[in-house]
Structure 1
Amino acid sequence: MNGSEGEGGEEATGSGHDAFGEEQRETLRRARRLEWITLAWMSATVALVALVAGQSQAMRAAWAEDMLSLLPPIAFLVAARRIRKRPDRLHPYGFHRSIGVAHLVAAIALLTMGGYLAIDSVMTLVTVERPPIGLTVLFGHAIWSGWLMVAVMAVTSIGPVFLGYKKLALSETLHDKVLFADADMSKADWSTAVATIAGVIGVGLGLWWADATAALLVSVSILHDGVKNLRSSIGGLTDAEARTFDDSAPHPLTRRIEERAKEESWVGEASARVRDEGHVFHAEVFVVPAAGTEPTLDRIAALRDRIEELDWKVHDVVIAPVPELPPAQTFRSTLRTGPTAPPSVE
């Protein structure tokens, strides 16, 4: 195992922060700064949108989404702090999974609020509720409140889009799915702003249904984010196959670990079982010794070290010499390499 001596002389896998190289540490510092900026910006946005929302359902939906946008940064900052804790007797694998828990909390909140807003918007359309958007006196002049709503949505959507693209690159470096979910939501914030602006202007043009329709579009966006992140977070917490930071494909490190193991002269067959612990991976590598070779402790330790050198994310490695690969691992290897020719039947 990739271990460092913990307190009391116990072998430990180290904290999540221990796994980081200098590049990852600097990236984490930048990510923290961006998340604090995001919290400040979104807090101001929530206050401004609440101030001008009035009875517009689209504005209320946008306000709810802005409130939910506070959750991923908070979850990221809390998780980033918890992963610094070292393993103990109750948590022998460390606190890496704090990232996965934070991801799950954010996903459930998105799903719940998206569902509520969708139902509320549909009920408004069914009952034909007409949102009153009246006049507001500003600096001694009476203006249509809708223009204030449009201005606030246009201005407040700029920050999240910019911050989202900045955080997107950092999420790949850190292999952080919470940061990626936050970045993905933020960079798509312009769509919420456009839908809300269209709904408000539609009401001004006499289209009473435009406001509730815009709110429904916003709620569908929230639901989409919630479902996508819920699927991803549950997969990670239930030890599904390790995938890339954006969940687009199985992580290539699994294949690289197997290839590295097979490079050893004493290894006949090898298959890896890799799970995503948050920022880092835990890998169990099953190896079948080649005929006539002996898997000595020195050979096993050397293989473990060579696998750990592949990538900083390979943080905890177990080498398991076995007489034959477990059935599930044989099946996975077949899926990756393609089916072999069936045995001949005499």
Structure 2
Amino acid sequence: MIDRLPEYVRRDLQHARSLEWWTLAWMSSVVFVMWLVMGSSQAMKTALIEDVLSLVPAIVFLVALHFERKDATRAFPFGFHRVQSLSSLIAAVALCSVGAILVFDSLTSLVAREHPTMPPVRILGHEIWQGWVMIAALVYSVVPPMILGRMKQPIARRLEDEVLDTDAMMQKADWMTGLAGIAGVLGVAFGLWWADAAAAAFISFSILKDGITSLRVATAELVDGTPRRLGKVELAHDARALKATLERMYPGSSVRLRATGRFIHAEVHGAVPTQPLELAEIWPGDPGKSWRLAQVSFVPGEGDKA
């Protein structure tokens, strides 16, 4: 199905693929740097775990795109389009896991009143407070995800790609965690022992909230729910308009919509087409996204209004 997509959509997919490979390269370097300077800081530990799990959405996007390009087989006669839905679930679970783990770790540290230690370290013959080294690493950890996330977000919207959108949210969580970590380390420098864990807890709840939203959307898609807005649990405006259009075209019928990755499939129950349909002409939304309507099927018989 990808081969039948408009050229501008295929270009976006190729661009997204390149960005994900850059993500794996840059974020792997961030993970290595953070591991070197982590010390006993809870905020640094939080940032490191988050950076490691942030690799998951990029990996599953690349795997899903690889399978999407494959043709249908005897074992998989409907092709591999739903692998994108499965990837959305995996990416959402990764984001939820990040938030849950970090919330637990940070709150545990606050309750236990753990005091992080940041002794001087010797670099090139000079003793430097470890906090400055941590801050330098955190600044580096902020830059790549901030750039990559901002580049991915508009592509995710154009492609209506939940995996890419979740990845962009993960990148946002990356740089927000980095900034919170900097605030925590500076707080320790001023004698505020709780600042380190409090900064980690603050950002953890935000990450968990985004993860739960992504998980709800991915679950709805896997159980053939009506297509949702990108990154939201509300029904998509395009889906509502498409349902209304088909119901006007076939009075007395029952229209059901489901999402398969970035594509929408429609079923019209209780009606039979009287003439061939052009899917692009039925699409009621942005003409540039008419490619999303992959199929309209008709099921003769009594319309089910339930």
Contact 2:213-2:231 at 8 Å conserved across structures:
no
| TM-score between the two structures when normalised by the length of structure 2 | 0.90
Letter in 1 for 2:51: D
Q: Which residue of 2 aligns with 1:277?
A: 260
Q: 1:153 aligns with which of 119, 138, 147?
A: 138
Cα pair distance change 1:271/1:41, threshold 3 Å: same
Distance 1:256 1:119 in 2: 43
1:315 paired to 2:298: no
Distance 1:230 1:64 in 2: 20
What is the CA distance between 1:114 and its match in structure 2?
A: 2.7
SS in 1 for 2:11: helix
What is the CA distance between 1:92 and its match in structure 2?
A: 3.0
Can you list the C-alpha shifts for 1:119-160, whole angstroms capped at 9, x where unaligned?
222222222221111111112111101011111211321121
Contact 1:272-1:284 at 8 Å conserved across structures:
yes
Q: 1:36 aligns with which of 11, 21, 27?
A: 21
Name the Cα RMSD after superposition.
2.3
Distance 2:125 2:224 in 1: 62
Contact 1:62-1:218 at 8 Å conserved across structures:
no
Contact 2:181-2:196 at 8 Å conserved across structures:
yes
SS in 2 for 1:171: helix
What is the CA distance between 1:188 and its match in structure 2?
A: 4.6
Pairing of 1:114-129 with structure 2 (within 5 A): 114-129=99-114
Cα pair distance change 1:254/1:107, threshold 3 Å: closer
Letter in 1 for 2:185: V
What is the CA distance between 1:303 and its match in structure 2?
A: 6.6
Q: Who wins on radius of gyration, i.e. which is larger?
A: 1
Distance 1:303 1:97 in 2: 24
Return 5+ residue gaps in structure 2 as ranges. Answer: none
Q: Which residue of 2 aligns with 1:335?
A: none
Q: 1:134 aligns with which of 119, 125, 144?
A: 119
SS in 1 for 2:277: helix
What is the CA distance between 1:111 and its match in structure 2?
A: 2.3
1:326 paired to 2:304: yes
Q: Which residue of 1 aligns with 2:81?
A: 96
Return 5+ residue gaps in structure 1 as ranges. Answer: 1-14, 289-294, 329-346
Letter in 1 for 2:263: V
Cα pair distance change 1:302/1:236, threshold 3 Å: closer
Can you list the C-alpha shifts for 1:189-214, whole angstroms capped at 9, x where unaligned?
33212210111111111111111212
Q: Which residue of 2 aligns with 1:211?
A: 196
Structure 1 segments (4+ residues) deviating >4 Å: 303-306
Contact 2:30-2:140 at 8 Å conserved across structures:
no
Contact 1:254-1:273 at 8 Å conserved across structures:
no
Distance 1:59 1:29 in 2: 34
Q: Figure out how many residues of one structure are paired with residues of the other and give that number.
A: 302
| TM-score between the two structures when normalised by the length of structure 1 | 0.80
Contact 2:115-2:193 at 8 Å conserved across structures:
yes
SS in 2 for 1:73: helix
What is the CA distance between 1:74 and its match in structure 2?
A: 0.6
Can you list the C-alpha shifts for 1:72-101, whole angstroms capped at 9, x where unaligned?
111110101111122233323321111111
1:301 paired to 2:294: no
Distance 1:24 1:121 in 2: 42
SS in 1 for 2:297: strand
Q: Which residue of 2 aligns with 1:344?
A: none
Contact 1:161-1:188 at 8 Å conserved across structures:
no
Letter in 2 for 1:283: A
Letter in 1 for 2:179: V
What is the CA distance between 1:39 and its match in structure 2?
A: 1.0
What is the CA distance between 1:21 and its match in structure 2?
A: 1.2
Distance 1:277 1:258 in 2: 16
SS in 2 for 1:301: coil
Q: Which residue of 1 aligns with 2:235?
A: 250
Pairing of 1:196-235 with structure 2 (within 5 A): 196-235=181-220
Contact 2:72-2:80 at 8 Å conserved across structures:
yes
Letter in 1 for 2:195: A
